[in-house]
Structure 1
Amino acid sequence: MSSKGLLLVFSEVGSALSESEFHGWYNNEHIPLRTVLPGFTSAARFVQADSHKPTWAALYDLTTADYLQTDDYLNLAKTRSEREANVFKQLQYLERRIYTLNETAPVTVSDAFAGHKEGMTLVAVSIQVPPEHESDFHKWYDEEHVPLLRKVPGWLRTRRFILVESDATGVLEGTEGYKAPPKFIALHEYANADGLAGPEWKAATSTPWRDKIFANVLSIERRVLKVFKTF
């Protein structure tokens, strides 16, 4: 049986398109056409909460990553409206990342988690380590890092995925061009951001084992996002 999938899409509106046009298209056309498909099990939009770009993100849970290769999904591009085609042309930046669930990493969920709600905080941490250090990296995550994160006030859920493929169109201002994201991503969800600078969070991110793991990290990307709209 195939693993569950995840589609993460980052976007930056730019100056050629108004934000009202962008949100109207996203909320009323783009996402509704996807959430009715059997391979999409949930969708939510996010806005940056860390002052970094891209400003906007959308997160789709999939039955499998392979669903994005089916006729049901591919037909969306073949039959897209003139409105959607124009939005794609005018967006400054659009990046798609497809992931598959890391089956060896348990999904940990608080009893308080009841789906995405507006205002919730998502901390998305992507990390690349050399292949020979991947086993140690996952062991640290399983045995120390996630158990400590669960003590952070407001923690709701942690899920970990493996990158399948990614691509981007446009250029993000202030960058030298597109770079493929790190292989592993962890999605940490919180009821709010209040605990992210507290003693429990600091304890989870400042241990000798963590320092040993990070000595071998090749690249890291950390984004803090807030739920903007659920579907």
Structure 2
Amino acid sequence: MASPGVLMRLASPSEANGNAQQPPVPNVTSVVQLEADDDKTPQLNTLYFLNDISPILSSASYFEKDAETSQGSVVWVVLLFINGRDKNDPANASVPNSLLSPPAAKSVVVVNGSTPREDKEQDYHDWYDQEHGLKLSTVPGWNSARRYRLVQSYGSVETASFYGINFYDAENGLGGPEWQAGVTEWTLRIRSNAAKPNIRRVWKVRE
């Protein structure tokens, strides 16, 4: 049985015209190239949407080959698809791993990694599916979201147990009243039950 998911390929700026444009793994259905819109590193992130992540879990050879031929440092984070929602399907009925349409150049992608305590994991999933994801969908400019579980990483990188990836227009309401309304009592409880702080990165889709 296939296991759909995403490979996040994090790289240094020297990779801007390097291997990031060529899928280093099989089963790629779509690719989104990102550059950092914050002051953190790494500064490049390529999202490879895969219809099956199994080959890159069973062998490190794909990563090793990519690392050997890259023009700079490369890190892989392999994620298993959980669920998602789209602008035209906010009820989270039936959403595929791959995006329904490619995000526009210069649009914004927010990647948020969370690590709830093991005994609070179900509360985290309930919060995201029943409240948090729906509240994010009301932020102006929001288009879609995909949610994942971490299954493997290659290279030195800080990781989280779960990742939410949200796609917004270049002009959006991030930081505005709708976005701020997402901080509820349930949200504060989830934060207090985290095993470690969130990992939040803001990216822009490369032209």
Distance 2:186 2:62 in 1: 48
Task: State which of 148, 157, 167 in structure 2 corresponds to 1:189.
Answer: 167
The answer to whether structure 1 residue 110 and structure 2 residue 87 are counterparts is: yes
CA RMSD of aligned residues (A): 2.6
Q: How does 1:70-149 map to 2 (within 5 A)?
A: 85=68, 87-88=70-71, 91=72, 93-102=73-82, 106-111=83-88, 114-149=101-136
- Is there any run of 5+ residues in structure 1 with no aligned partner, and where? 14-18, 169-177
Q: Which residue of 1 aligns with 2:52?
A: 64
Q: TM-score, normalised by structure 1?
A: 0.76
Q: Which residue of 2 aligns with 1:172?
A: none
The alpha-carbon distance between structure 1 residues 86 and 159, as it changes in their structure 2 partners (threshold 3 A), is closer
In our comparison, the structure showing a higher alpha carbon Rg is: 1
Matched position secondary structure for 2:17? helix
Matched position secondary structure for 1:195? coil
Which structure dedicates a bigger proportion of its chain to helix?
1
Q: Which residue of 2 aligns with 1:173?
A: none
The structural deviation recorded for 1:31 is 2.9
The structural deviation recorded for 1:86 is 5.3
The structural deviation recorded for 1:197 is 1.2
On the 8 A contact 1:167/1:180 being kept in 2, the answer is no
Deviations along 1:140-198, whole A, 9 cap, x unmatched? 11111011111100111111100111121xxxxxxxxx454011000011112531011
- Is there any run of 5+ residues in structure 2 with no aligned partner, and where? 90-99
Q: How many percent of aligned residue pairs carry the same amino acid? A: 25
Q: Which residue of 2 aligns with 1:24?
A: 17
The structural deviation recorded for 1:32 is 3.2
On the 8 A contact 1:120/1:191 being kept in 2, the answer is yes
Q: How does 1:157-172 map to 2 (within 5 A)?
A: 157-168=144-155
Distance 1:140 1:55 in 2: 30
Task: State which of 147, 151, 154 in structure 1 corresponds to 2:138.
Answer: 151
Deviations along 1:79-131, whole A, 9 cap, x unmatched? x7xxx84534xx1x3210001111xxx41001396222211111000011111
